[in-house]
Amino acid sequence: FLLGPAQQMAIMFDPVRVFATAIYLGCVVIALICALLIHSKVLTLLAIIVEIGALIWYSLSYIPFARRMVSELMIRLCDTEL
């Protein structure tokens, strides 16, 4: 937990985690803009939901095979083959 800011940034922008990090940071900015400047509750809530999803996806990258397991589970649950 006590890595230091430089090493934490290197870990955050590792190729495995770069997309989740970018989406998370982008949604933080979008949520702040929607809440403070635009005053839209719906857009703020949507940005926060996406932000939480990106944070969960980022956290799963620390557990071996967790992302693959969640991806396969979502494919099985959302498969709409009739």
Using one digit for the tens of pLDDT, what is the confidence trace for 5-57? 899 899 999 999 999 999 999 999 999 999 999 999 999 999 999 999 999 99
Neighbouring residues of 31: CB distance < 8 A, sequence distance ≥ 6: 44, 47, 48, 51
DSSP 3: -
Reported pTM: 0.83
CB-based contact 49:26 (threshold 8 Å):
no
The pLDDT of residue 46 is: 97
Q: How many other CB atoms sit within 10 Å of the CB of residue 35?
A: 16
The residue range of the domain holding 54 is 5-79
Q: Which long-range contacts (CB under 8 A, 24 or more apart) does 11-19 make?
A: 16/61, 17/58, 17/61
